[in-house]
Amino acid sequence: MITVHHLESSRSQRVLWLLEELGLEYEIVRYARDPVTLLAPPSLRAIHPLGKSPVVVVEPAGEAEGGKITLAESAAILEYFVERHPAAALAPPAGTAERARYTYWMHYAEGSAMPPLLLKLVFERMKTAPVPFFVKPVVKSIAGRVLSTFVDPQLELHGGWVERALGEHAWFAGETFSAADIQMSFPVEASAKRRGLGDGASKARAWLERIHARPAYQKALERGGPYQMLGG
């Protein structure tokens, strides 16, 4: 049995998508964000000590296959299921250039793409955070300067890199859809939501249209519920 501990509008949406692509049965345990902090509820810590999503619990059918496994981190979860279902061909063959690109984008999504997007979220909130009136101009000024001199240039750099990659190949690993596209969906969607993709991002926009049209993606949305990265 597969149980996905699913936090609304979070990275766990792409885990649901992968499971739909693989045609696997799974159950969902839903969690709502705190309306003020937007953080996951403390109840998630009962599943994993960090209290973050996604978390997937796998309970094998037979004792010979081992006991219950609790998985966290999107890339680790995706790789776990992709390796166990090779017939779905969601990872390129080992030793190929496509596999090297696949591995790169699987790690790039969280290791390089998400940090500046998180900083964008934090410093934009700082600009409007409730603080004493006499320090508000200072906080707003500092946040604006960090955004303009570091965060926004970094987002432009990464946006250009993604656009270039999708200009060279139809999908992130090559000419075939793979789990790397599932992994990259969250940072590209987050970028589109938080800053817009801009006029020079035609390849990224076309890629988003292609993934959003996939039946498994649509089914995952039905199962997962409202997903704020799409503006819903």
pLDDT in tens, 62-77: 554 568 899 999 999 9
> What is the chain's mean pLDDT, rounded?
91
Residues 81, 58 contacting (CB under 8 angstroms): no
pTM of the model: 0.91
pLDDT tens profile 40-94? 888 888 899 998 889 999 987 755 456 889 999 999 999 999 999 999 999 999 9
Residues 31, 44 contacting (CB under 8 angstroms): yes
**3-class secondary-structure state, position 228:** helix
Please spell the DSSP secondary structure of 61-101, one letter per residue: SSGGG-S-EEEESHHHHHHHHHHH-GGG--SPPTTSHHHHH
- Residues in Cβ contact with 179 at an 8 Å cutoff, skipping those fewer than 6 apart: 18, 78, 79, 82, 90, 91, 102, 106
pLDDT tens profile 170-204? 999 999 999 999 999 999 999 988 777 777 899 99
The mean pLDDT of 21-39, rounded to a whole number, is: 88
Cα–Cα distance for residue pair 111/122, rounded to 1 Å: 18
Look up residue 128 and give its amino acid: T
Residues of the chain above pLDDT 70, percent: 96
Confidence of residue 128 (pLDDT cuts 50, 70, 90): confident
Which residue's structure tokens are 């993604």?
162
Which residues are paired to 5 by β-bridges? 29, 55
Residues 48, 40 contacting (CB under 8 angstroms): no
pLDDT tens profile 137-165? 888 899 999 999 999 999 999 999 999 99
Q: What is the pLDDT of residue 114?
A: 95
- Residues in Cβ contact with 207 at an 8 Å cutoff, skipping those fewer than 6 apart: 166, 171, 181, 188
**Res. 29: pLDDT tops 70:** yes
